[in-house]
């Protein structure tokens, strides 16, 4: 019987739980007790990966103490605070589970909902996202979240009611090649959908914060919107960036030509001096913008091809290979 091995040469388990932690010392013991109790009832092999994201309180000490009594608790300690996305990325990189589940460490996500997500994974879904239907946050914050979710769904084409819920489950093979930066962890379903993953969303419980304070401010809205632009671009134009740069360049050249024709029309038919109008400047500027955009598109094509070829990456994702392990029958 062959044993599978994952990150760090550890045996592969069924489920990996990833916990980004920043100043949550008072919540850690209660959270781990709940997670371990729930996962033991599932009968699946599991590990819990806690990522200490540069906490300034006693979080690391609490995690060290818990790790002594819990052999399948793994702790990753960052040198400083790198943010939730980096913490999730580190947990995913070191996870060995066939299914990876992420949740917040503030006790607002309920570990009792983990089996709900695993059930949906068992039904064939690749990504299952939690939906905090009865969200226990302030009215203004909940309103902003609803607006943001609608904007993201509209722009991305991936319709989820709650992008901000950290409680999500992923098949490992779906997210193994995804790299995350900035505040992009909430956009993993968009990346996965672009690769052909099947998505599901299930209502989950949401509790008021018991200890500590929220780490999220209103400035996150601007970061999310800017990251959404990046995600949308990468999802639609990663392998053919010349389409967006070249498209804008062609539009600029068309505008330049139109302005030039109108300028000539005014001069020949109306007798209006071109110098008295802004048209010559408009023609020159739009022409230069058009040429530069097309050249940027060509440079982007070179960069993309260099990326794929130097990293050994393919511009496609395979879901399954059938009969490739069979020896060919030369008599067929």
Average pLDDT rounded to a whole number, residues 20-44: 93
Query: What values do phi and psi take at 127, rounded to 5?
Result: -135, 130
Among 208, 237, 266, identify where a domain stops: 237
Q: Is 71 inside a domain boundary?
A: yes
Nearest to 59 by CA among 71, 50, 49, 69: 50
Structure tokens belonging to residue 196? 């052909």
169 and 305 belong to one structural domain: no
Among 215, 237, 259, identify where a domain stops: 237
Rounded Cα distance, 80 and 152, in Å:
30
Q: Is 98 inside a domain boundary?
A: yes
Taking only the tens place, the pLDDT of each residue in 260-319 is 998 888 888 877 777 778 888 999 999 999 999 999 988 988 887 787 677 666 655 565
Number of domains in the chain: 2
Q: What is the C-alpha end-to-end distance of the chain, expressed in Å? A: 31
CB contact set of 5 (below 8 Å; sequence gap of 6+): 11, 12, 96
Which residue reads 């980004």 in tokens?
20
275 and 226 belong to one structural domain: no
Rounded Cα distance, 173 and 192, in Å:
10
Q: Does the pLDDT at position 237 exceed 90? A: no
Taking only the tens place, the pLDDT of each residue in 94-122 is 999 999 999 999 899 999 999 999 999 99
Distance (Å) of CA 327 to CA 13, 128, 324, 330, 331: 30, 37, 8, 9, 12
CB contact set of 237 (below 8 Å; sequence gap of 6+): 243, 244
Range of the domain at 266: 242-310
260 and 224 belong to one structural domain: no
Rounded Cα distance, 20 and 29, in Å:
15
111 and 213 belong to one structural domain: yes
CA dihedral (61, 47, 216, 204) in degrees, to 10, reads -130
Rounded Cα distance, 210 and 106, in Å:
8
pLDDT at 66: 93
Taking only the tens place, the pLDDT of each residue in 149-207 is 888 888 778 888 888 889 999 999 888 777 777 677 888 888 888 778 899 999 999 88
Rounded Cα distance, 255 and 221, in Å:
34
The three-class DSSP label of residue 145 is helix
145 and 278 belong to one structural domain: no
pTM: 0.72
173 and 98 belong to one structural domain: yes
Rounded Cα distance, 17 and 37, in Å:
13
pLDDT at 310: 74
152 and 282 belong to one structural domain: no
The three-class DSSP label of residue 22 is coil
Nearest to 21 by CA among 76, 100, 73: 76
pLDDT at 215: 58
144 and 122 belong to one structural domain: yes
Distance (Å) of CA 215 to CA 49, 87, 110, 260, 299: 20, 14, 18, 54, 39
Q: What is the CATH number of the domain that holds 228?
A: 3.90.550.10
59 and 128 belong to one structural domain: yes
Q: Which helix (H) or strand (E) holds 84?
A: helix 84-94
Distance (Å) of CA 165 to CA 80, 145, 245: 24, 10, 34
Q: Is 328 inside a domain boundary?
A: no
């Amino acid at each position: 019987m062959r044993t599978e091995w994952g990150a760090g040469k550890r045996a592969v388990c069924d489920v990996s739980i990833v916990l980004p932690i920043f100043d949550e010392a008072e919540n850690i013991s209660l959270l781990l007790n709940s997670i371990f109790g729930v996962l033991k009832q599932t009968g699946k092999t599991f590990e819990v990966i806690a990522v200490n994201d540069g906490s300034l309180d006693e979080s690391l000490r609490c995690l060290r103490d818990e790790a002594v009594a819990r052999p399948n608790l793994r702790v990753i300690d960052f040198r400083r605070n790198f943010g939730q996305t980096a913490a999730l990325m580190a947990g995913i990189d070191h996870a060995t589970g066939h299914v990876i589940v992420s949740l917040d460490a503030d006790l607002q996500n309920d570990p009792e909902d983990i089996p709900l997500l695993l059930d949906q994974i068992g039904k064939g879904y690749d990504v299952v996202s939690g939906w905090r239907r009865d969200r226990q946050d302030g009215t203004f914050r909940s309103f902003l979240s609803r607006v943001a979710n609608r904007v993201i769904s509209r722009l991305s084409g991936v319709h989820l009611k709650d992008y901000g819920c950290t409680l999500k489950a992923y098949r490992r093979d779906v997210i193994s090649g995804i790299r995350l930066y900035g505040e992009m962890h909430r956009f993993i379903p968009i990346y996965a959908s672009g690769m052909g993953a099947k998505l599901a969303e299930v209502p989950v419980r949401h509790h008021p914060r018991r200890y500590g304070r929220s780490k999220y401010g209103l400035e996150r809205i601007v970061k999310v919107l800017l990251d959404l632009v990046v995600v949308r671009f990468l999802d639609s134009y990663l392998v053919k960036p010349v389409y967006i740069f070249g498209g804008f360049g062609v539009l600029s050249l068309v505008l330049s030509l139109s302005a030039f024709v109108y300028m000539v029309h005014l001069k020949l038919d109306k007798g209006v001096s071109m110098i008295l109008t802004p048209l010559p400047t408009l023609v020159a500027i739009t022409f230069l913008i058009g040429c530069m955009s097309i050249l940027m598109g060509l440079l982007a094509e070179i960069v993309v091809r260099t990326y794929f070829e130097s990293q050994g990456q393919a511009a496609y994702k395979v879901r399954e290979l059938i009969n490739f392990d069979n020896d060919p029958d030369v008599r067929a």
